[in-house]
Amino acid sequence: MRSAMTRLLAILGSLAGLANTINGYRPLSKRGYPSLSAFAFGVFASELPLQLIAGQSALLAALSKWLSPQARRVGWLISAISWLGLLGLNHSGRTADRPLAEALDAELGPNRRTDGDDLWQRPDAAVEHIARAPGVVRTLLAYRDYATDSDIPYGEYGGRNTLDVWRHRDLPRDGRAPVLLQVPGGAWMVGSKRGQAHPLMAHLVERGWVCVSINYRLSPRSTWPDHIIDVKRALAWTKAHIADYGGDPDWVAITGGSAGGHLCALTALTAGDPRFQPGFAGADTSVRAAVPFYGIYDFTGETALHPLQAPTMSAYVFKQSRRRFPDTYRDASPMTYISADAPPFFVLHGRNDSLVPVEQGRTFSARLRDVSTNPVVYAEMPLAQHAFDIFGSARAAHTATAVEQFLAEIYARRSDPEY
């Protein structure tokens, strides 16, 4: 009985691995609750395929001694097919620099900058080398290595109004380094300033940037627009105090993923809007550039939404029906605020996103490009899931490099009279 059960589990495990590989190429669902599983398993297949091969092969090898020769052959054959597919996903991640470069070239031109070495001061310890190679371990250690000042209060709501400052320990405190503000995601209901965008922030800190990662109030305890108010307040704090940490308050960009991508885009498009700045309407909340990842830009229903999105927002975030209170949803949509004077944008989205339809990124960037007088770069990542930049994967490393190149180009243009 035990031998038969082991054979069954081995074959089912191999089939499950193959299904997961297929899901990495084409999500098995983008609707309802199954899409959550499609995302959870798909992001590992697309971003950590070699680790999956190692884990699956080790498990199958351990079970093989209890398998019959026929079951062993079937199990290894199915797994081999799966692993070939995972190697294809690995190739896609390792060559992700190509679509990123194409997107940057298309908007900024082939003669754009590819680094900012002469634009800002590189930390002394980093002058002689490029930032350390990416990887899962480095990502896990990034907070320890770069978050020099933690849990700084910027508002009155305790731990939800705190931020961390990331800077290279050799960066002069009296420097004027460019600054990136990172807004975490988590469906406006979960999430923390720790654990997101570490590959990007570590990459920029190694090159001489100062990064600020923030917490903000979350639903259902808090209700919209508390979230955007906190982001704006954190931005105002950054501009008022970042010089004490070696940052340049006159050059602050903003980024974020998922819900953080939405808040990033909305912040960039509503500088000084008093509706989102109660009690600090006079504060400067403009940014030099915005880099939203896989964000939601339209809640009105005009652009495709995940089927669970509207009811979730209605019940827990806005706490208002979209049908009865359409203005609330329109006012929360970055799409509403597209204008000619929008700051430069670099919009990134995964083509296989199971949680936020890729149409959100496509439509937003297209409309913004039609109106804005500033650059709008849109990069759609083949075979990439939601949260593709979380791990220290090859795709995350390429993305961090592309974001640095975009920001370097925008930074260089700040003093160009023809820009």
**Inter-helix orientation angle 97-108/394-413, to 10°:** 20
Catalytic residue among 164, 230, 298, 353: 353
Helix/strand/coil for 246 = coil
- Tell me if residue 149 is catalytic: no
Place of tokens 């209700």: 223
Nearest to 363 by CA among 351, 378, 353, 350: 378
- Tell me if residue 353 is catalytic: yes
Place of tokens 């009811």: 311
Task: Tell me the C-alpha to C-alpha distance, in Å, between residue 385 and each of 27, 46, 137, 228.
Answer: 9, 7, 21, 26
49 preceded by cis ω (within 30°)?
no
- Tell me if residue 168 is catalytic: no
Nearest to 229 by CA among 274, 184, 287, 268: 274
Catalytic residue among 227, 386, 389, 398: 386
Place of tokens 């939405």: 262
- From CA 177, how far away is CA 120, in angstroms rounded? 6
Instruction: Answer whether 250's CB lies under 8 Å from 179's CB.
Output: no
Q: How many CA atoms lie within 13 A of 219 on its CB side?
A: 20
Q: What amino acid occupies position 87?
A: L
Q: How many CA atoms lie within 13 A of 106 on its CB side?
A: 13
- From CA 30, how far away is CA 357, in angstroms rounded? 8
Tokens of 164: 């961390």
How many residues are present in the chain? 419
Catalytic residue among 14, 35, 79, 258: 258
- From CA 416, how far away is CA 419, in angstroms rounded? 5
Read off φ and ψ for residue 376, nearest 5 degrees.
-130, 105
Catalytic residue numbers, as ranges:
258, 353, 386
